[in-house]
């Protein structure tokens, strides 16, 4: 096999100082000066992150002689003409613990390729990668890059088809713990870094994730063929998040979320971790292969806009928990409880009355990924409301169209995923209308996606024998009296206030630090108890700090809202509703 003319060398230079050292070798640089560009965002995370800002130094040479370079813009450089080979060395400060950039310390390392690998202008062929073994003898490497010549720890030489392929295979390093299993005949593994609980229940992880992966692959006709799949998982004290890739995903999870030997039930935190795995795995189809045209055309230098983000993230958010149900990892009532929780969360977002799903999708770059204290009042999540819109569409197709959202996703796979053809705007809507034969579906979809009215979910659920009830949330800190405060976790500092609430009318806002309600002191530890003492119709003075100045405001507590949804199987549902319910939720719901 010919050696690629573009090659990257990675050295975990100084874990204590969080330094990655990279070398980019270009065998035949462009004659008029080689241009290198670093991505500004990463696929699957819709925010310009300006990865180039993490480069601490860069130097270039050819045949042992320095090569001058200049910046073209915040992410691009041009190197002076040279005969080649051109060698560019640079250092990355790697201390972002998320799944979007690079991280290195003395316990683990991680690289998301878009944050460290230059795109070499004029080069569109194969790329070689060498990961130099670190002196830390217990460290191993995990990646789904194609190995060429690697040692038993996983370090050595790899190959990618091109730059896009290179950056779609994250790299994890550290004292790895691997949990391997086969799903649909394909090798899968969880590659854990970080401190794991000593009594980790590997058997349960294997059993549950085998079910989830096989259920999803069955939905898409056991395609595509994969050499392997990897869940690269960094275990921390309290983190949560994930990012999809073509044959792997990068996850961060809380230590307490993992299953332990001896636990007879799936605890809520573990179900949430399974949901995260399910979400990122479903992206193997929806986003990574069924890809919107706007994303496919982007070189990751600037924002790529689409009004269909709800169809990629929202639909995936519907399927993540739904696949857990179908895989037998959730009971019917556990699944309905999760749907009800999403309905409650969206219902408590005043921004849903101002911002449509299409607008929320389009403005993700400036709103969802750059939240401020007023975000819930100004927009709605295309994840959460998008999941509810997907549920509504699925039920409508099942009730009136003799089809389902499953069939729509398979059509999108056949037309776009399997063929590698990017999906145009509105592809899911068109496929749903074509498969359903429901004349008014286009009008309904337009209202659900581009309007700001309430989604008619309770009425639709009733047609499936699901009773929808409203009640005061018995876990909410304002269950005795409503004032409309949004609190930061374990803090008396306000994250914001609810639109048209007593707190907003009193002038309180995000960043204010509550110190007293009435004559009682408020702290991070007692604020929930203090809120429970409030009563509707009994005004109370709130003392707070803003800009280090003590202020006061008069709060007029109101009757708490019955805004918590509860979903239950309707034992009195007719036979048609029961049949629809069983087809959707399984025979256990019949």
Q: Decide: 378 and 366 in contact? Cβ < 8 Å.
A: no
Three-state DSSP at 64 gives coil
CATH 1.10.390.10 fits 176-271, yes or no: yes
pLDDT, one tens digit per residue, over 70-128 is 999 999 999 999 998 999 999 999 999 999 999 999 999 999 999 999 999 999 999 99
**For residues 247-264, average pLDDT:** 96
Q: What is the mean pLDDT of residues 282-288?
A: 98
For the residues of 342-381, what is the DSSP string, one character each? HHHHHHT-GGGGT--HHHHHHTTTTTTTS--TTHHHH---
Query: Hey, what CATH topology would domain 285-467+570-590 get?
Result: Neutral Protease; domain 2 (1.10.390)
**Phi, psi of 261, rounded to the nearest 5 degrees:** -60, 140
Q: Would the pLDDT of 1 be above 70?
A: no
Domain ranges of the chain: 6-95+109-167, 176-271, 285-467+570-590, 485-555
Residues 6+ apart with CB under 8 A from 530: 517, 520, 522
Integer angstrom CA distances of residue 556 from 124, 487, 495: 64, 18, 20
Across the chain, which distance is largest between two alpha carbons, in Å?
A: 83
Domains 176-271 and 285-467+570-590 share a fold: yes
Question: What are the pLDDT digits (tens) for 328-365?
Answer: 999 999 999 999 999 999 999 999 999 999 999 999 99
Domain covering 485-555 in this structure, CATH number: 2.30.42.10
Mean pLDDT of the chain: 96
For residue 274, name the pLDDT band (cuts at 50, 70, 90).
Answer: very high
Among the listed residues 587, 590, 583, 218, the one whose alpha carbon sits nearest the alpha carbon of residue 395:
583
Indicate the range of 198-207, 215-224, 487-496 predicted with least confidence. Answer: 487-496
Which of 3.30.160.70, 3.40.30.10, 1.10.3720.10, 2.60.40.3650 is the CATH number of 6-95+109-167?
A: 2.60.40.3650
- Own/partner pairs for 57-66, CB < 8 Å, 24+ apart? 57/90, 57/91, 58/88, 58/89, 58/90, 58/91, 59/88, 59/89, 59/90, 60/86, 60/87, 60/88, 60/89, 61/86, 61/87, 62/29, 62/86, 62/87
Summarised one tens digit per residue, pLDDT across range 449-466 is 999 999 999 999 999 999
């Amino acid at each position: 096999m010919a050696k690629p003319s573009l090659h990257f060398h990675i050295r975990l230079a100084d874990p204590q100082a969080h330094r990655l050292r990279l070398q980019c070798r270009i065998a035949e640089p462009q004659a008029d000066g080689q241009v290198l560009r670093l991505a500004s965002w990463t696929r699957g995370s819709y925010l310009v992150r300006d990865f180039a800002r993490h480069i601490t130094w860069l130097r270039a040479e050819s045949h042992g002689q320095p090569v001058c370079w200049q910046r073209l813009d915040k992410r691009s450089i041009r190197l002076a003409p040279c005969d080649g080979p051109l060698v560019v060395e640079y250092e990355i400060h790697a201390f972002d613990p998320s799944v979007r950039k690079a991280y290195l310390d003395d316990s683990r390392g991680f690289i998301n390729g878009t944050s460290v690998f230059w795109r070499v202008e004029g080069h569109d062929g194969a790329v070689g990668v060498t990961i130099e073994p670190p002196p830390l003898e217990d460290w191993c490497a995990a990646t789904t890059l194609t190995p060429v010549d690697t040692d038993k720890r996983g370090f050595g030489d790899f190959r990618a088809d091109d730059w896009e392929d290179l950056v779609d295979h994250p790299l994890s390093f550290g004292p790895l713990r691997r949990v391997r299993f086969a799903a649909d005949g394909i090798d899968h593994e969880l590659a854990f870094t970080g401190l794991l609980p000593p009594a980790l229940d590997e058997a349960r992880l294997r059993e549950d994730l085998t079910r989830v992966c096989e259920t999803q692959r069955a939905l898409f006709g056991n395609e595509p063929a994969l050499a392997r799949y990897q869940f690269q998982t960094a275990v921390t004290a309290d983190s949560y998040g994930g990012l999809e890739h073509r044959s792997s995903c990068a996850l961060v999870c809380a230590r307490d979320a993992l299953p332990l030997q001896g636990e007879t039930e799936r605890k809520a935190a573990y179900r949430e971790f399974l949901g995260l795995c399910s979400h990122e795995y479903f992206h193997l189809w929806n986003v990574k292969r069924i890809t919107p045209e706007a994303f496919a055309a982007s070189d990751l230098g600037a924002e790529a806009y689409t009004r269909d983000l709800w169809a990629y993230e929202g639909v995936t958010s519907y399927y993540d928990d739904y696949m857990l149900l179908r895989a037998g990892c959730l009971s019917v009532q556990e699944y309905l409880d999760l749907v009800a929780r999403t309905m409650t969360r969206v219902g408590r977002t005043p921004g849903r009355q101002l911002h449509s799903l299409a607008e929320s999708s389009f403005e993700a770059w400036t709103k969802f990924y750059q939240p401020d204290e007023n975000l819930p009042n100004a927009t709605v999540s295309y994840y959460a409301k998008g999941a509810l819109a997907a549920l509504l569409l699925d039920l409508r197709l099942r009730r009136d169209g003799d089809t389902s959202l499953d069939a729509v996703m398979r059509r999108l796979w056949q037309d776009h995923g399997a063929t590698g053809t990017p999906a145009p705007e509105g592809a899911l809507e068109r496929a749903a209308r074509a498969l359903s034969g429901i004349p008014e579906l286009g009008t309904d979809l337009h209202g659900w996606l581009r309007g700001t009215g309430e989604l008619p979910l309770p009425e639709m659920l009733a047609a499936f024998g699901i009773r929808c009830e409203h009640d005061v949330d018995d876990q909410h800190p304002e269950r005795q009296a409503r004032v409309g405060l949004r609190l930061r976790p374990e803090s008396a500092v306000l994250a914001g206030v609810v639109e048209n609430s007593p707190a907003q009318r009193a002038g309180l806002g995000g960043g204010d630090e509550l110190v007293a309600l009435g004559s009682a002191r408020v702290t991070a530890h007692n604020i929930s108890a203090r809120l429970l003492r409030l009563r509707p119709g009994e005004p109370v003075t709130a003392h707070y700090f803003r800009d280090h100045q003590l202020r006061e405001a008069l709060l007029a507590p109101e009757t708490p809202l019955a805004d918590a949804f509860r979903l239950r199987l309707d034992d009195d549902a007719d036979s048609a509703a029961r049949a629809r319910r069983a087809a959707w939720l399984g025979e256990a719901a019949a």
